[in-house]
Chains A and B, each alone.
Chain A
Amino acid sequence: MSQDIKKLPAGSFERVHIDSTQAERISKPSMSFWQDAWLRIRKNKAAIVSMFILAFIVIMAFVGPMISPHDADTQTITHANLPPKVPGLEKLGIFDGVGTLGGKEVDLYEMKKVDTYYWFGTDGLGRDMFSRVWEGTQISLFIAFMAALIDMVIGVAYGGISGYYGGRVDDILQRIVEILYGIPTLVIVILMSLFMEPGITAIIIAITITGWVGMSRIVRGQVLKFKNQEFVLASRTLGASNGRIIVKHILPNILGIIIINTMFTIPGAIFFEAFLSFIGLGLQPPNASLGTLINDGYKMIKFQPHILLYPSLILSLLMIAFNLLGDGLRDALDPKMKD
C-alpha cells in the first residue's frame, strides 16, 4: 500500500457524469443457441473431419455406382477375384492388379487377360466391387435414415406424451415400453423370418417395433425436467395451451438431445443390419449390403483380402464418423457449457 501520493495532472479530479444507461449495454454479439453450438463444433477437429468423411461417403454412395465403368450386378466369371487396379495409381506399386497366387506375386489381370480396370477389384462371381460396395452403402444409409426417422417420430412422440401428461397415461405407456425393452430386436427379426422373407422390410419392421425405446426414455426424462421449469410455468400463467407449450417451449429445448441421441442410434442400426446380413438373416443375395459383402469377403480373407477390406473400411468409417460427430455435437450442444 504505497503512501507516496504522486502528482497527477490538473483536472484529473473533475467529476464526470456517468451515463448509467451505458451500463446496460451488452457488447458481445448476439448469438442464438445454434450459432453458439456451431462455433463450438467448429473447434472440434474430430467432429469436422467426421462430417467431411460422412459427406464424402454419402455422396459416393450415389455417385460411385454411376461413375464406375462397370455394373454392380453383371457377373463376368472370367474376371472373378481380381485385386483392385486403378489407372494412375498402378504406377506407384499399389492398386496395380497384383495378387498372390500359389505363394507368388502375380499380375492377375495379365494372367486372366483382363484389359479393363476394376477399382476395388472383383468378387467371386466377377462382379465389380466398387459398384457393389457403394450400392451396399446405399442400403446402409437407407437403414440409417429410417432408424433416425422412426426414432424421431415414434420415440419422441411416445416419450413426449408420456412425460408431458404424466399420471395414468405415463404409467401405462411406460409399462409397455418396459416390456418392449426386454425383447431383443434380434429375437423379433428371427420371429419375423417365420412370416416373411428376410430383407430390408423385415429389418425396418423390427426396428420400428423396438428401436425407438431408448429415445423415448430420454425424451420422457427431458420433458419431465422441462415441464416444471419456471419459464414453462410462466407460459402457463400467461394462458398458453398445452400445444403451444410443447411446440414453442419444450421441443426447442430438447432438440439438442434428440439430435445427439439420433447420432448414436444410427451407427447401432447400421451395424445391426450388417450383422444380420452377415449371419444370413438380413439381405439375401444377390442384394448387396455392407454386411453381405463382408460375409462374402471373410471367407476369402487369405487370398482376396480386398473383397473384405473395402466394405469393412466403409462400415468402420461410417460408425466412427457418426460416433465422433455425436460426441462433438454433445459437447457443443450441452447447455451447461456456457461461455
Chain B
Amino acid sequence: MAEKLLEIRNLKQYFNQGKPNEVRAVDDVSFDIYKGETLGLVGESGCGKSTTGRTIIRLYNATDGQVIYDGVDVHDKKSKKDLKTFNRKMQMIFQDPYASLNPRMKVLDIIAEGLDIHGLVKNPKERKERVVELLETVGLNREHADRYAHEFSGGQRQRLGIARALAVEPEFIIADEPISALDVSIQAQVVNLLKELQEEKGLTYLFIAHDLSMVKYISDRIGVMYFGKLVELAPAEDLYNNPLHPYTQSLLSAIPLPDPNYERTRVRKSYDPSVHNYQDGEEIAMREITPGHFVFCSEKESESLKAISNSRL
C-alpha cells in the first residue's frame, strides 16, 4: 500500500465568514494523496477546486481543518525556516500563461528565483547552468534564458512555469488548471511533459482542471467537487465507467467527444440537487461504495448505490 503524502482533513475556506455575503468556497473537504500518484480534482466554476489547491499551499490561510504534509500540519504556526522547507517540497503551476511570469524579468531570473531564495547555488555560473538544465528538461534550450516572457508562446510559457517550480526540487506539485488556457495540440505537449517528469523525478501531483477527458488521461484517481463539497472520489477508470453520484453522472453526460456518431446518440442528464431529498438529521458523508470508490451520500443512498454497483459487476 502506497504511503500517504498529503492528508486533507475537514478543510474549510469560508470568505466573509458570518456576514450576509459569506461564501463557503471549500466546505469540509477531506481526502488523501498518496506518494507518486496523480489526483485529479474536477468541477465547474465556483466549485472550490482552485481554492482548495491554494489553501493547501498556504496562499490562503484555512478557515478550519488540517493540511498534513508528510505527517506535519502545514497551517500550524511555523517558523520561517519551517515555512521555507515547506516551500521547497510543495510547488504550484498556474493557469494563465500570460500572468504567471513577470513581464519585466528575464527567463534566467524567473527560473532562478527559487534557487536565489533558498540559496541553492553558489555563484552566477552555477546558477546559469542549473537554469539551462531546467530549460532543457522542459524542452526549451540555452538561448531562451536571456529572453523575456512575452517572446514566448502560451505553451512555452507554461513550460517555463514548470521549470520554475522544478528549480527547488519539490516532491509535490499542485497544477491549478495548467492547460485550460492552451490550445488543444499544445495541451498535449504540456501534459506529456508533466507525465514524463513525474516518472523521472517521482513527483506527486494534484491536477486541478475542468477538462474531464484530459484529467482522466493524466490522473490515477479523481475527485469531483460541487459547490465546495467533494461529492465523489474514485480511481479514474471507475469514475468514468461507473459514476455513482448524480452530479458526476450529469457532468460526464455533458462532455462532448470528438466522435459524431457518439454525439448523435448522447443523452444529457441534468442534475437537480433536490433529487437527493435529504431529511433533517440525516448524516451525509463520504462513504466507500466499492473499494476505493467514495461517494458523498446518506446511509440510505449508499445502500442503493452498493446494490447498483454489485449488479454491474
In this assembly, does A237 line the interface, its C-beta being within 8 Å of a C-beta of chain B?
Answer: yes
Contact, CB under 8 Å: A235 / B141: no
Complex formed: what's the CA distance from A235 to B276 in Å?
44
Q: Which residues of B contact A24 (CB under 8 A)?
A: 139-141, 144, 156
Contact, CB under 8 Å: B94 / A249: no
Min CB distance A7 to B, Å, is 34
Q: Which residues of A contact B164 (CB under 8 A)?
A: 234, 238
Bits for B113-155, please: 1 = Cβ < 8 Å to A, else 0: 1100110000000000000000000011101101110111000
Q: Which residues of A contact B101 (CB under 8 A)?
A: 231
In this assembly, does B168 line the interface, its C-beta being within 8 Å of a C-beta of chain A?
Answer: yes
Report which of B100, B148, B161 forms a contact with A32, defined as CB distance below 8 A.
Answer: B148
Min CB distance B290 to A, Å, is 36
Bits for A137-169, please: 1 = Cβ < 8 Å to B, else 0: 000000000000000000000000000000000
Complex formed: what's the CA distance from A44 to B95 in Å?
37
In this assembly, does A244 line the interface, its C-beta being within 8 Å of a C-beta of chain B?
Answer: yes
Contact, CB under 8 Å: B99 / A231: yes
Contact, CB under 8 Å: B92 / A30: no
Bits for A319-339, please: 1 = Cβ < 8 Å to B, else 0: 000000000000000010010
Contact, CB under 8 Å: A253 / B140: no
Bits for A212-255, please: 1 = Cβ < 8 Å to B, else 0: 00000000000000000111011111111000100011001100
Contact, CB under 8 Å: A239 / B141: no
In this assembly, does B256 line the interface, its C-beta being within 8 Å of a C-beta of chain A?
Answer: no
In this assembly, does A28 line the interface, its C-beta being within 8 Å of a C-beta of chain B?
Answer: yes
Q: Which residues of A contact B64 (CB under 8 A)?
A: none
In this assembly, does A21 line the interface, its C-beta being within 8 Å of a C-beta of chain B?
Answer: yes
Give the contacts of A1-39 with B (CB-CB under 8 A): 21, 24-26, 28, 30-33
Report which of B91, B99, B150 forms a contact with A230, defined as CB distance below 8 A.
Answer: B99
Report which of A30, A230, A233, A240 forms a contact with B148, defined as CB distance below 8 A.
Answer: A30
Nearest A residue to B176 by beta-carbon distance?
A230
Nearest B residue to A26 by beta-carbon distance?
B151
Contact, CB under 8 Å: B95 / A230: yes
Complex formed: what's the CA distance from A255 to B168 in Å?
29
22 A–B contacts from the bound complex (CB under 8 Å): A24-B139, A24-B144, A24-B156, A25-B143, A26-B151, A30-B147, A30-B151, A31-B148, A32-B106, A32-B148, A33-B103, A230-B96, A230-B100, A231-B100, A233-B59, A238-B114, A238-B164, A239-B87, A239-B118, A240-B117, A249-B102, A249-B105
Interface residues of A (CB under 8 A from B): 21, 24-26, 28, 30-33, 229-231, 233-240, 244, 248-249, 252-253, 335, 338
